[in-house]
Amino acid sequence: MSSKSIIFITLLLCLALFSVHAFATFVPQQGDHFSYYEIIEVGSGTGDYAGYTEHTVVIGTENINGVTSDGIVSTHYSYTWDFSSNDGSRDSGSSSGDFTFSSNTFRYINGTDDQIGYVNPTVWFCIDSSIPEGGTFYLLDTLMAVKSTEYSYHLASGDRYVYAIFAQGNSNWQRDDEYGQFTATYTWNTYFDPTSGYIIGYDYTEHNTNPSGTGFTYTEKLYITSASYQLETAPPPGPNIISELLKYAALIFVILIVVGIILIVYALSRTRRRLPRHPAQRPVYTPPSEQPPPQDINLTPKQAPVQQIVIKEVVKVNCRYCGALIDSTVEKCPYCGAPRR
């Protein structure tokens, strides 16, 4: 086999693998299942709900019992719940049943897993895993947008990070139930297995307010505790390098500006100290030859000049012949005429 043939076959295999990954869709199988743990909290109240809190724990399962050739999925659900509030109220209960949904449209067909208040909703626990980043889909009646197809999600039940499809939805609705009448605004963050499309977990946060000033926050946090589908371990999410660099660059820029201002102020202050004081009127320049002598110098002599008298000293010696004293500088004795030497 030639090298060109090997390269061509390799390219075909790569394209095939890419195509399978890019166009993978949710295909439920009989026996698929997962168990989940959910915590529901009510708090941060104002007005009539000031200081009030609720805590509910839900433990449930979803099991795929069968799939028809046209994509109708038969499912059994069950869950239990335990409720408590800070005013001493306690309650618990359970629910179970069967329903069907379409693996093509993801809408409930016959019954639901105890979902009420929705019109023709989609299921909440599985999606089409081929939806690309930026694509949209519905969960129940909320429009969701895919934010990432390789999100690193921390699974609390296993205390590990797994790869997930991260999708987010934001909306509002008018609450009118046992809590009262409120405008509810919420954000729903959901995480799904990139391979199977089944749920891994979600975080739901809802803020309820009304014109009277009464309000509260309602939250749900759900994550799976076991499942028939395998989750791929992911590395912990690291900091956003670009944003970190920009943050430090901005900090350095501010520091440089501050240092520059300090140096400029210091330089200006030093310059001001070196500037001489200017006289009120500049003196008129006079050439040296025309400048009068200073007024405090008196050129008139105070006394007559001192005469210098030089006294010359001459040494006297005795003449060797007559003994008279004669100058040591003469050649002959002026008295006897004998030579001095």
For residue range 154-199, what is the model confidence (pLDDT) as tens digits?
A: 999 999 999 999 999 999 999 999 999 999 999 999 999 999 999 9
pLDDT score recorded for residue 136: 98
Q: What is the mean pLDDT of residues 12-22?
A: 42
Q: What is the mean pLDDT of residues 237-249?
A: 63
pLDDT score recorded for residue 335: 81
Q: Looking only at Cα atoms, what is the longest distance across the chain? A: 177
Max mean pLDDT among 2-16, 24-38, 72-86, 262-276 falls in 72-86
pLDDT score recorded for residue 247: 64
pLDDT score recorded for residue 37: 98
The answer to whether 341 and 321 are in contact (CB under 8 A) is no
For residue range 100-154, what is the model confidence (pLDDT) as tens digits?
A: 999 999 999 999 999 999 999 999 999 999 999 999 999 999 999 999 999 999 9
Burial of 14 (0-12, 13-18, 19+ CB in 10 A): exposed
C-alpha span between 76 and 97 (Å, rounded): 6
Task: Say which DSSP state 313 is in.
Answer: P
Which has the higher per-residue pLDDT, 276 or 205?
Answer: 205
The length of the chain, given as a count of residues: 341
End-to-end CA distance of the chain: 140
Q: What is the mean pLDDT of residues 236-248?
A: 65
pLDDT score recorded for residue 273: 52
pLDDT score recorded for residue 21: 39
For residue range 18-53, what is the model confidence (pLDDT) as tens digits?
A: 433 344 577 899 999 999 999 999 999 999 999 999
Query: What residue has token string 């005469």?
Result: 307
For residue range 277-324, what is the model confidence (pLDDT) as tens digits?
A: 444 455 555 555 555 555 555 555 556 565 666 566 667 888 878 878
Task: Tell me if the domain spanning 24-238 has CATH number 3.30.70.
Answer: no
pLDDT score recorded for residue 303: 60
142: Cβ contacts below 8 Å, ≥ 6 apart: 169, 171, 188
Query: What does the block give as tokens for 303?
Result: 């006394």
Q: In the beta sheet, which residues pair with residue 34? A: 62, 227
pLDDT score recorded for residue 320: 78
pLDDT score recorded for residue 61: 98
23: Cβ contacts below 8 Å, ≥ 6 apart: 130
For residue range 189-207, what is the model confidence (pLDDT) as tens digits?
A: 999 999 999 999 999 999 9
The answer to whether 192 and 123 are in contact (CB under 8 A) is no
